Amino acid sequence: MSRHIEPKIDRIVDLLMQDYQTDRTIDAIKPFDYPDREEVIDVLEKLKIVIYPGYYRNSAFKTYTVRNNVSILLEDIIYHLIKQIKIVLRYLPEHENADPDSLHQTAESLTFAFLEKIPKIRALIETDIQAAYDGDPAAYNKDEIICTYPGLYAIFTNRIAHELFVLGVPLIPRIMTEHAHSLTGIDIHPGTTIGEYFFIDHGTGIVIGETTEIGNHVKVYQGVTLGALSTRGGQNLRGKKRHPTICDNVTIYSGASILGGDTVIGKDVVVGGNAFITTSIPDGAKVSVKIQELTVNYDSSHPIERKEVELDDTWYYMI
């Protein structure tokens, strides 16, 4: 390194050291007090092997029986999950000043309470795979769904994260779902409650808020928002029902927005593409955008043509 560069680096370091002393949130330096995101994601990926024992494997483990493989995986998951939960427990007021032994015991208890939920999670994911196969004519087999569908990965991650969320584990569930969000473009808060046979088709751009409740046999297409009507209340809205309830057998086509904690979409409702809903919809209804207007400009020698298009199936089912 050139000699004239070193003083410049020293000057920048001095500036940063001074800037770190302003006691802002971004100035905190506690390298061992935050969860390790990569370790949490590694736990999630190992749980994927446990959920789908015949589809994924860890090449580092050379075992010859499913039982041995699962046992080794669980030991690894348990060790790292206890470690990460122990770190995040300090975000809870009741554990803020707890001693290390107490934190470890609580983290261990939460870890095993979560692991006992795995059969339940697997049963739900089996229904999700079936829903995808039944609902998508482009799916030639279930292996294709398991190995390639981003919607299933987002749902799998949510079902894992939701159980940790329900147990009161801070931060870790959100790390998991935001990882899935970054990979799939599907943003499902871990607080979302989802029933059986949930199918996300295509999926990119879907947003599902924390207090959303989704029933059984619900199908959602890309670009759908199940969101809050307003978040201007900020932290005063924490813990309140801000997002809609979607009842059984509902289909929501692409680009639709359903907003508000008091909004209930009844059973067997079909919501057409680009619909904007802020009030409850009764059972069995069909919701659609009434009129679309097209503007077409062929070239400079032709005038602009405006044409109102009456509702038909082309506009209604936007996939």
pLDDT in tens, 87-98: 999 999 999 889
Torsion of CA 269, 275, 276, 281, to 10 degrees: -20
Q: What is the mean pLDDT of residues 229-255?
A: 88
From the CB of residue 224, how many other CB atoms can be counted at a distance below 10 Å?
A: 24
Q: Please say which residue of 185, 219, 249 terminates a domain.
A: 185
Q: Counting beta carbons within 10 angstroms of the beta carbon of residue 281, is it exposed (0 to 12), middle (13 to 18) or buried (19 or more)?
A: buried
| Residues 20 and 74 occupy one common structural domain | yes
| Residues 216 and 165 occupy one common structural domain | no
| Residues 266 and 176 occupy one common structural domain | no
> Model confidence at 29, in pLDDT bands (50, 70, 90)?
confident
> Which residue would you say has higher pLDDT here, 156 or 12?
156
Helix H or strand E encompassing 101: helix 100-115
Only one residue has tokens 């390298």, namely 31
- pLDDT, position 52: 93
- pLDDT, position 21: 86
> Which residue would you say has higher pLDDT here, 240 or 147?
147
Q: Using an 8 Å Cβ cutoff, are 228 and 261 in contact?
A: yes
Interacting residues of 163 by C-beta distance below 8 A, sequence separation 6+? 114, 117, 120, 121
Condensed to tens digits (0 to 9), the pLDDT of residues 56-82 reads: 776 666 656 778 888 889 999 999 999
| Residues 151 and 265 occupy one common structural domain | no
- pLDDT, position 25: 85
| pTM summary value | 0.85
| Residues 30 and 67 occupy one common structural domain | yes
| Residues 201 and 179 occupy one common structural domain | no
- pLDDT, position 1: 57
> Which residue would you say has higher pLDDT here, 54 or 286?
286
Domain coverage including residue 287: 192-319
Condensed to tens digits (0 to 9), the pLDDT of residues 182-219 reads: 999 999 999 999 999 999 999 999 999 999 999 999 99
- pLDDT, position 306: 57
Total structural domains within the chain: 2
Measured in degrees and rounded to the nearest 5, phi and psi for residue 277 equal -120, 125
| Residues 146 and 252 occupy one common structural domain | no
Q: Using an 8 Å Cβ cutoff, are 131 and 165 in contact?
A: no
> Model confidence at 166, in pLDDT bands (50, 70, 90)?
very high
Q: Please say which residue of 150, 185, 220 terminates a domain.
A: 185
Q: Please say which residue of 154, 185, 216 terminates a domain.
A: 185
Q: What is the CATH number of the domain that holds 272?
A: 2.160.10.10
- CA torsion sign, 115 to 43 to 103 to 108? positive
Name the average pLDDT for the chain: 89
Q: Using an 8 Å Cβ cutoff, are 58 and 79 in contact?
A: no
Using CA atoms, how far apart are residues 107 and 123, in angstroms rounded to an integer?
A: 25
| Residues 122 and 269 occupy one common structural domain | no
Angle at 54 between CA 50 and CA 56, to 5 degrees: 65
Name the percent of the chain lying above pLDDT 70.
87
| Residues 37 and 181 occupy one common structural domain | yes
| Residues 49 and 137 occupy one common structural domain | yes
Q: Using an 8 Å Cβ cutoff, are 50 and 77 in contact?
A: yes
- pLDDT, position 119: 96
Name the percent of the chain lying above pLDDT 90.
68
Interacting residues of 134 by C-beta distance below 8 A, sequence separation 6+? none
- pLDDT, position 54: 79
Condensed to tens digits (0 to 9), the pLDDT of residues 257-305 reads: 999 999 999 999 999 999 999 999 999 999 988 766 666 666 666 655 5
Indicate if the pLDDT at residue 86 is higher than 90. Answer: yes
Distance from CA of residue 74 to its chain's centroid?
A: 24
- pLDDT, position 252: 98
Among residues 195, 197, 189, the alpha carbon closest in space to that of 226 is found at: 189
- pLDDT, position 64: 62
Q: What is the CATH number of the domain that holds 79?
A: 1.10.3130.10
What string of H, E and C letters represents the secondary structure of 241-259?
Answer: CCCCEECCCCEECCCCEEE
Among residues 68, 20, 78, 16, the alpha carbon closest in space to that of 46 is found at: 78
Measured in degrees and rounded to the nearest 5, phi and psi for residue 251 equal -115, 130
| Residues 60 and 100 occupy one common structural domain | yes
| Residues 265 and 225 occupy one common structural domain | yes
